[in-house]
Structure 1
Amino acid sequence: MKIYMFKRVLATSVLTFGLFACSSLIDVKPRTAIDSSTALVSVDAINAAVNAVYDALQSTDLYGRDLIAIPEVLSDNGRATNNSSRLVSEYQNQPGFHMINWTQDYYGINLANLVLDALPKVTMTDAQRNSYMGQCLFLRALMYLDLMKSYAYMPTAIIPEYNRGGVPVSVSGVLTLPQVEFPGRPTIDVVYTQILADLTVAIAKLSATAKSRGPIYATQGGAQALYSRAALYAGKYQEAADFATSALASGIGTFQSKATYVAGWRTAINPESMFEVNFQTSENIGVNTSLQTTFTTLVTLGNTATTGGFGDVVPTAALLADLESEKDATGAVLDIRRQLYELGTKGRGAQNIETTKFLGKNGTINLDNVPVIRISEMYLNRAEANYNLGKVADALKDLNTIRTRSGLPEKASLTGSTLLDEIIKQRRLELAFEGHRFWDLKRLGRDVVKTTNLPFTDYRVLARIPISEINNNRNLKQNYNY
Structure 2
Amino acid sequence: MRTYKIILSASLLTMGLLVTSACTDSALLDVKPRTAADSQTALTTPDGIDAAINGIYDRLQSVVLYGRDMLAVSEALGDNAQFTNKSGRLANENRNIANNTFGTATSAGGSWQTAYFAINQANLILDNIGSVPFAVADTARRNTFLGQAYFLRALLYHDLSRIYSYEPGMEIALQDRGGVPLLLVGVADQSKITLPSRPAVADVYKQIYADLQSAIGVFSRSTASNPSAPAYGNLQATNALFSRVALYRKDYANVVKYATAAIGGSIKLSDNASYVGGWRAPRQPESLFEVQFATVSENIGVNTSLQTTYTTLVRVGDRNATGGFGDLVPTTAFINDLEAEKSATGAVLDIRRQLYELGTAGRGPAFIECTKFLGKNGTINLDNVPVIRVSELFLNRAEANYYLGNAADALADLNIIRVRSGLPARTATELAGVALLNEIMRQKRLEFGFEGHRWFDLKRTGQNVVKATAQGGGLVYTDFRILANIPVNELSTNKNVKQNFGY
The TM-score range, normalised by the shorter chain, is over 0.9
Q: Does structure 1 residue 470 correspond to structure 2 residue 491?
A: yes
2:196 is matched with which residue? 183
Following superposition, the deviation at residue 212 of structure 1 comes to 4.1
Deviations, residues 324-364 of structure 1 (Å, cap 9, x unaligned) = 11011111110000000000000111100000000001111
Which one of 445, 454, 460 corresponds to residue 437 of structure 1?
Answer: 454
Q: Does structure 1 residue 4 correspond to structure 2 residue 4?
A: yes
Q: Which amino acid aligns with 2:439?
A: E
Deviations, residues 121-165 of structure 1 (Å, cap 9, x unaligned) = 100133222111100000000000000010000114221111111
Deviations, residues 158-203 of structure 1 (Å, cap 9, x unaligned) = 2111111100001110011221111000000000010011001101
1:373-384 alignment, distance < 5 Å? 373-384=388-399
Deviations, residues 270-297 of structure 1 (Å, cap 9, x unaligned) = 1100000011222111111000000000
1:326-341 alignment, distance < 5 Å? 326-341=341-356
Q: Does structure 1 residue 288 correspond to structure 2 residue 303?
A: yes
Q: Runs of 4 or more off by more than 6 Å in structure 1?
A: 35-38
Task: Describe the shift of the 1:443–1:129 C-alpha distance in structure 2 as closer, same or farther (beyond 3 A).
Answer: same
2:15 is matched with which residue? 20
1:274-423 alignment, distance < 5 Å? 274-281=288-295, 282-413=297-428, 414-423=431-440
Task: Describe the shift of the 1:416–1:5 C-alpha distance in structure 2 as closer, same or farther (beyond 3 A).
Answer: closer
How many angstroms apart in 1 are the aligned matches of 2:259 and 2:474?
Answer: 33
TM-score computed with the length of structure 2 as normaliser: 0.92
Which one of 238, 261, 264 corresponds to residue 275 of structure 2?
Answer: 261
Q: Which amino acid aligns with 1:4?
A: Y
Q: Is the 8 A contact 2:95 2:474 kept in 1?
A: no
Task: Give 3-state SS (helix, strand or coil) of 2:387's partner.
Answer: strand
How many angstroms apart in 2 are the aligned matches of 1:201 and 1:463?
Answer: 29
2:207 is matched with which residue? 194
The answer to which of 92-101 and 209-218 deviates more is 209-218
Deviations, residues 53-91 of structure 1 (Å, cap 9, x unaligned) = 111100000000000111111000011111110000000
Q: Is the 8 A contact 2:467 2:474 kept in 1?
A: yes
Deviations, residues 359-416 of structure 1 (Å, cap 9, x unaligned) = 0011110000000000000000000000010100000000000001101111111222
C-alpha RMSD of matched pairs (Å): 1.5
Q: Does structure 1 residue 164 correspond to structure 2 residue 158?
A: no
How many angstroms apart in 1 are the aligned matches of 2:5 and 2:97?
Answer: 42
Which one of 103, 117, 123 corresponds to residue 127 of structure 2?
Answer: 117
Deviations, residues 304-327 of structure 1 (Å, cap 9, x unaligned) = 111000000000111111101101
Identity of aligned residues (%): 52
Following superposition, the deviation at residue 4 of structure 1 comes to 2.8
How many angstroms apart in 2 are the aligned matches of 1:359 and 1:431?
Answer: 16
How many angstroms apart in 1 are the aligned matches of 2:40 and 2:180?
Answer: 27
Task: Give 3-state SS (helix, strand or coil) of 1:385's partner.
Answer: helix
How many angstroms apart in 1 are the aligned matches of 2:57 and 2:20?
Answer: 25
Following superposition, the deviation at residue 209 of structure 1 comes to 5.7
How many angstroms apart in 1 are the aligned matches of 2:458 and 2:3?
Answer: 36
How many angstroms apart in 2 are the aligned matches of 1:325 and 1:232?
Answer: 28
Q: Does structure 1 residue 47 correspond to structure 2 residue 12?
A: no
1:136 is matched with which residue? 149
How many angstroms apart in 1 are the aligned matches of 2:398 and 2:201?
Answer: 25
Q: Is the 8 A contact 2:398 2:410 kept in 1?
A: yes
Task: Describe the shift of the 1:161–1:41 C-alpha distance in structure 2 as closer, same or farther (beyond 3 A).
Answer: same
Q: Which amino acid aligns with 1:27?
A: S
Q: Does structure 1 residue 459 correspond to structure 2 residue 455?
A: no
Following superposition, the deviation at residue 40 of structure 1 comes to 1.3
Q: Is the 8 A contact 1:2 1:55 kept in 2?
A: no
1:72 is matched with which residue? 75
How many angstroms apart in 1 are the aligned matches of 2:193 and 2:111?
Answer: 20
Task: Describe the shift of the 1:437–1:218 C-alpha distance in structure 2 as closer, same or farther (beyond 3 A).
Answer: same
Residue-pair matches, total: 475
1:195-274 alignment, distance < 5 Å? 195-207=208-220, 208=222, 210=224, 211-251=226-266, 253-274=267-288
Q: Is the 8 A contact 2:165 2:483 kept in 1?
A: yes
Q: Is the 8 A contact 2:53 2:149 kept in 1?
A: yes
Task: Describe the shift of the 1:38–1:302 C-alpha distance in structure 2 as closer, same or farther (beyond 3 A).
Answer: closer
Q: Which amino acid aligns with 1:174?
A: V
Q: Is the 8 A contact 2:71 2:450 kept in 1?
A: yes
Q: Does structure 1 residue 81 correspond to structure 2 residue 87?
A: no
Structure 1 portions without partners, runs of 5+: none
Task: Describe the shift of the 1:14–1:392 C-alpha distance in structure 2 as closer, same or farther (beyond 3 A).
Answer: same
Q: Which amino acid aligns with 1:21?
A: G
How many angstroms apart in 1 are the aligned matches of 2:76 and 2:463?
Answer: 16
Q: Is the 8 A contact 1:299 1:307 kept in 2?
A: yes
Following superposition, the deviation at residue 33 of structure 1 comes to 9.1
Task: Give 3-state SS (helix, strand or coil) of 2:335's partner.
Answer: helix
Following superposition, the deviation at residue 14 of structure 1 comes to 3.1
Q: Is the 8 A contact 1:203 1:224 kept in 2?
A: yes
Q: Is the 8 A contact 2:41 2:48 kept in 1?
A: no
How many angstroms apart in 2 are the aligned matches of 1:419 and 1:176?
Answer: 54
How many angstroms apart in 2 are the aligned matches of 1:53 and 1:383?
Answer: 33
Q: Does structure 1 residue 92 correspond to structure 2 residue 109?
A: no
Following superposition, the deviation at residue 213 of structure 1 comes to 2.0
How many angstroms apart in 1 are the aligned matches of 2:218 and 2:19?
Answer: 32
Q: Does structure 1 residue 108 correspond to structure 2 residue 111?
A: no
Structure 2 portions without partners, runs of 5+: 32-38, 103-109
How many angstroms apart in 1 are the aligned matches of 2:207 and 2:57?
Answer: 20
Q: Which amino acid aligns with 2:438?
A: D
